[in-house]
């Protein structure tokens, strides 16, 4: 991993914060990470992690090697024009915004910007995320490797050459944790409804999902076979 990389993170909410924590945990220098977030709470959370946090791009320092976009998708159209100069200078943009195709960034940034579109999921908060990346033709081999390393700091990474399939990724792994959390909620409610104490019900539900997931990950059997082992 190259540690002399200067990272500019736009948006330090839930996902942005998880990324900063992951980068610091693997030994990146906090002095090489800058955060832009006009939200004072988010900026303060970034400063608590000992990284520089400012309210606008004009307050940041150069050089920048990569811009990581972790703002809400609906904020991007307003946020991006200020970044045109960095894009024109060849800086790679790694965006984790849901639902925005690479073509959107190319249009708003102009020229031939280097764009990597990523879809992580919320377990990045504990370094166990799953991120799928897709890049446009302007991204160099070094920039590919850099974006992969930045997301590998918070979990596993896979690449897709067909960007169209990013919507499917968003449905499966990006949104998937919500289904799993709903399953946990349902298991807890069901357990309570048949007489178990809520604390024990929660422990049973969470350990069941975590344990089954961990077992599926390491098992040589297909999930369908693992299911049959239980329902036989
Ligand atoms: N959460 C997930 O499970 C998940 C999974 C995959 C991908 N994503 C993507 O990750 C991105 C971030 O999601 P999140 O849940 O971390 O959102 P979030 O908690 O709302 O964080 C976004 C942050 O960006 C700030 N912001 C607003 N305008 C800005 C600007 N001009 N420059 C810099 N920062 C600005 C927001 O401030 P204000 O709150 O004041 O607007 C907020 O602090 C989204 O695009 C989402 O699609 C999320």
Show me where the domains of the chain are located.
Answer: 7-164, 176-231
Ligand 1 midpoint to CA 222 (Å) = 36
| Predicted local distance difference test score (pLDDT) of residue 179 | 98
Which of the listed residues 17, 35, 70, 97 should we mutate to test ligand 1's pocket, taking the one with most ligand atoms within 8 A of CB?
A: 70
Q: What is the mean pLDDT of each run of 10 residues along the chain (232 residues)?
A: 90 97 96 97 96 95 95 96 97 97 97 97 98 98 97 98 97 98 98 98 98 97 97 92
**Cis bond before residue 63 (omega within 30° of 0):** yes
| Predicted local distance difference test score (pLDDT) of residue 33 | 97
Nearest-CA residue for ligand 1 atom 18 is: 13
CATH fold, domain 7-164, is Rossmann fold (3.40.50)
Cβ < 6 Å from ligand 1: which residues?
A: 10-16, 36-39, 42, 70-73, 75, 79, 96-98, 119-122, 174
Nearest-CA residue for ligand 1 atom 3 is: 122
What ligand 1 atom has the least distance to the C-alpha of 99?
Answer: 47
Distance between CA atoms of residues 232 and 227, nearest Å: 8
What ligand 1 atom has the least distance to the C-alpha of 42?
Answer: 43
| Predicted local distance difference test score (pLDDT) of residue 140 | 97
Distance between CA atoms of residues 54 and 220, nearest Å: 48
| Predicted local distance difference test score (pLDDT) of residue 3 | 79
| Predicted local distance difference test score (pLDDT) of residue 145 | 97
| Predicted local distance difference test score (pLDDT) of residue 182 | 98
Ligand 1 midpoint to CA 61 (Å) = 22
CATH fold, domain 176-231, is ProC C-terminal domain-like fold (1.10.3730)
Ligand 1 midpoint to CA 195 (Å) = 40
Ligand 1 midpoint to CA 77 (Å) = 13
């Amino acid at each position: 991993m190259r540690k002399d990389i200067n990272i500019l993170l736009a948006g330090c909410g839930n996902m942005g914060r998880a990324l900063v924590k992951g980068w610091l945990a693997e030994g990146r220098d906090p002095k090489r990470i800058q955060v832009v977030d006009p939200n004072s709470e988010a900026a303060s959370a970034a400063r608590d992690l000992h990284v520089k946090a400012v309210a606008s791009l004009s307050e940041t320092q150069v050089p920048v090697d990569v811009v990581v976009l972790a703002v809400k998708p609906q904020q991007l159209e307003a946020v991006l024009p200020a970044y045109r100069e960095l894009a024109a200078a060849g800086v790679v943009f790694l965006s984790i915004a849901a639902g925005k195709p690479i073509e959107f960034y190319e249009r708003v940034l102009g020229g031939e910007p280097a764009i990597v579109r990523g879809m992580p999921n919320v377990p990045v908060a504990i370094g166990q995320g799953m991120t799928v990346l897709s890049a446009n033709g302007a991204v160099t081999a070094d920039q590919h490797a850099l974006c992969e390393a930045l997301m590998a700091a918070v979990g596993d990474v896979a690449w897709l050459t067909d960007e169209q399939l990013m919507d499917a990724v968003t449905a499966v792994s990006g949104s998937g944790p919500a289904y799993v959390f709903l399953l946990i909620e349902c298991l807890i409610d069901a357990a309570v409804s048949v007489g178990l104490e809520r604390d024990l019900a929660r422990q049973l539900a969470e350990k069941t999902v975590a344990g089954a997931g961990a077992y599926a990950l390491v098992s040589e059997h297909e999930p369908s076979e693992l299911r049959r082992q239980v329902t036989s």
